[in-house]
């Protein structure tokens, strides 16, 4: 008999359900008896003992379903070891619930913050297996996270839609893409959507270089320019500020996000008409794309196998086209960023894409 606790934590993404289904199918297809305890709304469910016993039926028909059947929430790692508003020690509460239910392990699906807490629980002696989810693709130890390809599709669709209207009106269009502090999503969607300029956090931009590119395009007869801007993009000047100075500047900024700041600077310096589109949380929504369904199912199957083998303390990752087991202590607290010298960046530049650097 195996008793498995499962939870999804942090921002949701496509294919969370597909991944959980992969784990559960693998376990149910083995000859082992299995009980699944689904903790609701992320770590909160484990802390406050909010769970549901799940059967095979709960995992049927969810391969194509976006979101998470367990619900999710953000439980910041920074404060996880502080008592909650009622003085409850949350780490101890998670441990107690784990032991009370006599769990053999926890299957935790999440991104960066989630992995820090998962590693903490491992250090505290709990058996943990994790799966890498996030549209940001910023998790260290895996070449790819599930949710990423689905989000690339949606952000690309947004850029595709902008293309026709941009061409008709002879305007500069900015599409702001999610990705938190990294540029994977913007880089991939920008290239897939044929953006002329791509601004990502890892390559701080110079607004004059951005304008040069717009003017160069016009001199060559192009009627419009499309700029894919990562929500975390930063100017060269701002990149020189300390964390504190930048925070202060952003607090005082009249712009809701960096895209509007870029738009205002272009408008002011050139008089051109600029429009901003922010697809926002659409990028995390809807059905997982076929790639993510297959990918998350494969990762889930490997997680199921690990549980059957009593192999704990790992994230199931993807390296050089292989599904791999990555020690949690190697993953926790590290960010996978776009290397400014990466071949994909060079190739994008060869295609004529400007990074504003």
Q: Which residues bind ligand F6P (CB under 6 A)?
A: 11, 111, 134-136, 178-180, 231, 284
Provide, rounded to whole angstroms, the least separation between the CB of residue 133 and ligand F6P.
Answer: 9
CB of 164 closer than 8 Å to CB of 153? no
Q: What DSSP string describes 238-279?
A: HHTS-HHHHHHHHHH-SSSSHHHHHHHHHHHHH---EEEE--
Q: How far is 19 from 128, CA to CA, in rounded Å? A: 16
Q: Which is nearer to ligand F6P, 27 or 154 (CB)?
A: 154
| Helix/strand/coil (H/E/C) assignment for every residue in 213-242 | HHHHHHHCCCCCEEEEEECCCCEHHHHCCC
Min separation Cβ 134 and ligand F6P, Å: 5
Which of 12, 136, 138, 292 is labelled catalytic?
136
CB of 138 to ligand F6P, least distance (A): 8
Angstrom distance (rounded) from CA 314 to CA 126: 12
Q: Any catalytic annotation for residue 208?
A: no
| Cα gap 267→210, rounded to integer Å | 12
Diameter of the chain measured on Cα atoms: 71
Report the nearest approach of ligand F6P to the CB of residue 179 (Å): 5
When the beta carbons of 180 and 336 are compared against ligand F6P, the nearer one is 180
Taking the least distance from each CB to ligand F6P, the nearer of 59 and 295 is 295
User: Which residue, 111 or 304, is less far from ligand F6P as judged by CB?
Assistant: 111
Q: Minimum distance between the CB of residue 239 and ligand F6P, rounded to whole angstroms?
A: 19
| Three-point CA angle 16, 20, 26, nearest 5° | 145
Q: How far is the CB of 296 from ligand F6P (least distance, A)?
A: 16
DSSP string, 129-183: EEEEB-TT--BTT-S--BTHHHHHHHHHHHHHHHHHHHHHHT-EEEEEE--TT--
| Residue 184 Cβ vs ligand F6P, minimum distance, rounded to whole Å | 10
Angle at 337 between CA 295 and CA 143, to 5 degrees: 25
The 10 Å Cβ neighbour count of residue 83 is: 11
Among 124, 133, 96, which residue's Cα sits nearest to residue 7?
A: 133
Angle at 203 between CA 275 and CA 201, to 5 degrees: 65
Locus of tokens 């895996």: 142
- For ligand F6P, the closer of residues 285 and 308 by Cβ is 285
How wide is the angle at C-alpha 346 spanned by C-alphas 341 and 350, nearest 5°? Answer: 160
Q: Catalytic site residues?
A: 136
């Amino acid at each position: 008999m195996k008793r498995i606790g499962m939870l999804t934590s942090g921002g949701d993404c496509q294919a969370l359900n597909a991944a959980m289904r992969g784990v559960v199918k693998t376990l149910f297809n083995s000859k082992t008896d299995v009980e699944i305890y689904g903790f609701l709304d992320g770590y909160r469910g484990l802390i406050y003992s909010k769970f549901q016993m799940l059967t095979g039926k709960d995992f049927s028909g969810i391969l194509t379903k976006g979101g998470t059947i367990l619900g999710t929430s953000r439980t910041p790692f920074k404060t996880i070891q502080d008592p909650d508003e009622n003085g409850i020690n949350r780490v101890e509460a998670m441990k107690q619930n784990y032991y009370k239910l006599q769990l053999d392990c926890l299957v935790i699906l999440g991104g960066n913050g989630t992995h820090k807490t998962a590693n903490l629980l491992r250090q505290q002696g709990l058996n943990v297996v994790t799966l890498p989810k996030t549209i940001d693709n910023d998790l260290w130890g895996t070449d790819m996270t599930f949710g990423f390809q689905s989000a690339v599709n949606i952000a690309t669709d947004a850029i595709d839609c902008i293309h026709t209207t941009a061409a008709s009106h002879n305007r500069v269009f900015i599409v702001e893409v999610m990705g938190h502090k990294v540029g994977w999503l913007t880089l991939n969607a920008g290239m897939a959507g044929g953006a002329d300029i791509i601004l990502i956090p890892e390559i701080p931009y110079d607004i004059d270089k951005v304008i040069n590119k717009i003017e160069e395009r016009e001199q060559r007869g192009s009627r419009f320019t499309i700029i894919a801007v990562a929500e975390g993009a930063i100017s060269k000047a701002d990149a020189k500020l300390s964390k504190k100075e930048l925070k202060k500047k952003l607090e005082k900024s009249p712009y809701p996000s960096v895209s509007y700041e870029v738009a205002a600077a272009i408008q002011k310096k050139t008089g051109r008409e600029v429009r901003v589109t922010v697809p926002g949380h659409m990028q995390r929504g809807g059905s997982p794309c076929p790639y993510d369904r297959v990918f998350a199912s494969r990762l889930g199957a490997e997680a199921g196998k690990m549980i059957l083998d009593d192999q704990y303390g790992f994230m199931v990752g993807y390296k050089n086209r292989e599904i791999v087991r990555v020690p949690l202590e190697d993953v926790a607290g590290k960010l996978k960023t776009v290397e400014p010298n990466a071949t994909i960046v060079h190739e994008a530049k060869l295609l004529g894409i400007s990074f504003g650097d």
